C-alpha cells in the first residue's frame, strides 16, 4: 500500500503559513527602516539577523505555496516602505521592538508547530523556533550589556512549601485580599512593558500619519495602552511590589512617515492581537479573581480596538482576506 507522506495542507497548516507570510513581510519593511536609521553597531547586527530570518521564512512559505499551487498572499513590500524617511524612533527602541517581536514569535511558532502534521511543516516551524531563540538571546545579551534590559519584578523567596487552606485565597471579583503570586506579578510586569512598546510605536504612527481618521484611531489606541499600564501598576503598587521601568523610548520630531498608512494601521491591529494573547495567558494563570476580572475587561477593550482597526482597513480596501472555507450554501443556491 502506498502511503502519501506529503498530503495537501491541513486548514491549520494553511492558516499558520499564510499568517507567517503576512507577519514576516510586514517585519521586513519595519526592520529595514530601523536598519537604515540605526547608529549602534551592536543593534545593527541584530537587525540584520532579524531581516535575514524573515526573508528565509518568506522563501520557505513561497516554496510550499507554489508546490501546493496556492496563491501567495499580497502581504507587504517595497511599496509600504519610504526608504528616504528620517529616523522616527531611538536605537534603544529598536532593541525593545526586537524583544517584543522575538517573544511574540516564540509563542506563535510553538503553536504553529503544535498544529502541524506534515513533516516538512513541522521542520519549518522547528527552524523558526531555533532562529527566533537565537534572536532572543542576541537581544537579551545586548540589552544586558547596555543596561537597558527591563526585568520583571523581583520578589522574596518562600521559606517553605505548603498547601492552600482557605478559599479566601482566591479573593473576590472586586478586590483582592492576599499577596500576589509570582506568576501574577510576572504577567502584570510583562504586560506593562509590552504596552509601553505599543505606546511608543503608536505615538510615532500618530505623529506621521496624514489621515485624521487613522490618527484618531492611533491616539485612541495610545490612550487605551496608557490606561492598561496604569491598571497594572496600581495592582503591583497595592501589593507593595516593585515594578518594571515605564521607559517609553525616544521619538524624534520627524513628521515623515517611514511606512504606508496600510502598514501602520495593520501593525496596530496586529499589536492588539498579541495583546489579547498575552491577556488570555495572564487570565488563565491568575488565581485572584479581581486580577482575572481586570484582564478579562482589558482584553475586551483590546478586542474592540482591534475590531475598529479591521473596519478601517476594510473601508480603505486594505485588509487581505485570510484562507476561507467554501460556502456550500452559496454553491447550492447557484443551481
Domain assignment present for residue 280? The answer is yes
Is 90 exceeded by the pLDDT of residue 4? no
In a domain, 233, yes or no: yes
pLDDT at 245 over 70: no
Residue 142 belongs to what domain range? 10-149
- pLDDT bracket for residue 248 (50, 70, 90): low
* C-alpha 122: how far from chain center: 22
Assigned domain for 231 exists: yes
Which CATH number is 53's domain given? Answer: 1.20.1260.10
Looking at every residue in the chain, the average pLDDT score rounds to 93
The Cα 313–Cα 70 span in angstroms is 24
Do 179 and 71 share a structural domain? Answer: no
Task: Specify the number of domains making up the chain.
Answer: 2
Q: How far is CA 14 from CA 63, 76, 93, 130, 191, in A?
A: 13, 19, 33, 21, 30
* 293 close to 173: Cβ distance less than 8 angstroms: yes
Mean pLDDT of 304-317: 98
Is residue 83 situated within a structural domain? yes
Q: Is residue 277 in some structural domain?
A: yes
Q: Which of 149, 181, 205 is the last residue in one of the domains?
A: 149
The distance in angstroms from the start CA to the end CA of the chain is 39
pLDDT of 243 over the 90 cut: no
Q: Are residues 189 and 122 in the same domain?
A: no
Q: Are residues 136 and 32 in the same domain?
A: yes
Same domain, 136 and 188: no
How far apart CA 230 and CA 279 sit, in angstroms, is: 15
pLDDT 10s digits, 112-150: 999 999 999 999 999 999 999 999 999 999 999 998 888
Distance (Å, whole) CA 98 – CA 75? 20
Q: By mean pLDDT, which of 55-69, 119-133, 152-166, 270-284 is the weakest?
A: 152-166
The pLDDT value recorded for residue 247 is 61
**How does pLDDT run across 35-79, given as a tens digit for each residue?**
999 999 999 999 999 999 999 999 999 999 999 999 999 999 999
Q: With 80 as the cut, is the pLDDT of residue 218 above it?
A: yes
Q: Do 196 and 79 fall within a single domain?
A: no
Judge if 124 and 227 occupy the same domain. Answer: no
pLDDT of residue 285: 94
Give me the DSSP letters along 149-195: --PPPP-PPPSS------GGGG--SS---SPPPHHHHHHHHHHHHHH
Residue 162 within any structural domain of the chain: no
Examine residue 331 and state whether it is found in any structural domain, yes or no: no
Please compute the mean of the pLDDT values over residues 196-201 and round it to a whole number. 94
Residue-level pLDDT at 1: 45
Percentage of the chain modeled with pLDDT above 70: 95
Q: What integer pLDDT is reported at residue 3 of this predicted model? A: 52
What does the alpha-carbon distance between residue 300 and residue 250 come to, in Å, rounded to a whole number?
Answer: 30
- On whether both 174 and 304 belong to a single domain, the answer is yes
Helix (H, G, I), strand (E, B) or coil at 250: coil
% pLDDT > 90, the chain: 84
pLDDT at residue 282 greater than cutoff 60: yes
User: What pLDDT was estimated at residue 231?
Assistant: 96
Of the residues 86, 120, 149, which one is the last residue of a structural domain?
Answer: 149
What is the crossing angle of helices 182-208 and 261-285, to 10°?
A: 170
| Residue 255 exposed, middle or buried by CB count within 10 Å (0-12, 13-18, 19+) | exposed
pLDDT of residue 168: 87
Per-residue pLDDT reduced to its tens digit, 291-308: 999 999 999 999 999 999
Q: What pLDDT score does 273 carry? A: 94
According to DSSP, residue 239 is labeled: T
- List the grid coordinates of 37: 536609521
Provide the whole-model pTM. 0.93
Beta bridge partners of 259: 81
| Residues 125 and 243 placed together within one structural domain of the fold | no
Per this entry, what is the length of the chain? 335
Residue 207 counted as domain residue: yes
If asked whether residues 19 and 56 sit together in one domain, one would say: yes
pLDDT of residue 271: 94
Q: How far apart are CA 207 and CA 215, in angstroms?
A: 8
Cell numbers standing for residue 169: 485565597
- Kindly state the cell numbers that stand for 306: 482591534
Both 218 and 267 in one domain: the answer is yes
**What gap in Å lies between CA 1 and CA 18, rounded to an integer?**
33
Same domain, 134 and 196: no
Residues 78 and 141 grouped into a single domain: yes
Amino acid at each position: 500500500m502506498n502511503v502519501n507522506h506529503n498530503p495537501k495542507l491541513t486548514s491549520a497548516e494553511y492558516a499558520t503559513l499564510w499568517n507567517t507570510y503576512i507577519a514576516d513581510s510586514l517585519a521586513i519593511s519595519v526592520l529595514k527602516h530601523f536598519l537604515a536609521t540605526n547608529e549602534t553597531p551592536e543593534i545593527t547586527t541584530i537587525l540584520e539577523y532579524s531581516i535575514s530570518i524573515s526573508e528565509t521564512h518568506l522563501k520557505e512559505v513561497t516554496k510550499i505555496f507554489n508546490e501546493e499551487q496556492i496563491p501567495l498572499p499580497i502581504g507587504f513590500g517595497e511599496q509600504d516602505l519610504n526608504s528616504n524617511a528620517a529616523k522616527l524612533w531611538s536605537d534603544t527602541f529598536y532593541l525593545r521592538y526586537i524583544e517584543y517581536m522575538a517573544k511574540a514569535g516564540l509563542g506563535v511558532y510553538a503553536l504553529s508547530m503544535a498544529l502541524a502534521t506534515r513533516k516538512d511543516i513541522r521542520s519549518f516551524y522547528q527552524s523558526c523556533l531555533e532562529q527566533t531563540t537565537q534572536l532572543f538571546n542576541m537581544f537579551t545579551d545586548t540589552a544586558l550589556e547596555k543596561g537597558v534590559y527591563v526585568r520583571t519584578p523581583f520578589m522574596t523567596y518562600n521559606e517553605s512549601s505548603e498547601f492552600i487552606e482557605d478559599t479566601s485565597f482566591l479573593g473576590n471579583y472586586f478586590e483582592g485580599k492576599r499577596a500576589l503570586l509570582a506568576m501574577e506579578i510576572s504577567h502584570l510586569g510583562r504586560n506593562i512593558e509590552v504596552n509601553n512598546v505599543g505606546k511608543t510605536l503608536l505615538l510615532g504612527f500618530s505623529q506621521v500619519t496624514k489621515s485624521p481618521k487613522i490618527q484618531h484611531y492611533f491616539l485612541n489606541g495610545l490612550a487605551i495602552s496608557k490606561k492598561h499600564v496604569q491598571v497594572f501598576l496600581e495592582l503591583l503598587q497595592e501589593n507593595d511590589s516593585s515594578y518594571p521601568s515605564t521607559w517609553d523610548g525616544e521619538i524624534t520630531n520627524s513628521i515623515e512617515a517611514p511606512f504606508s498608512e496600510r502598514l501602520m494601521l495593520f501593525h496596530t491591529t496586529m499589536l492588539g492581537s498579541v495583546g489579547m494573547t498575552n491577556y488570555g495567558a495572564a487570565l488563565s494563570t491568575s488565581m485572584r479573581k479581581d486580577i482575572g476580572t481586570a484582564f478579562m475587561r482589558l482584553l475586551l477593550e483590546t478586542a474592540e480596538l482591534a475590531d475598529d482597526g479591521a473596519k478601517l482597513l476594510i473601508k480603505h480596501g486594505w485588509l487581505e482576506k485570510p484562507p476561507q472555507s467554501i460556502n456550500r450554501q452559496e454553491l447550492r443556491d447557484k443551481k
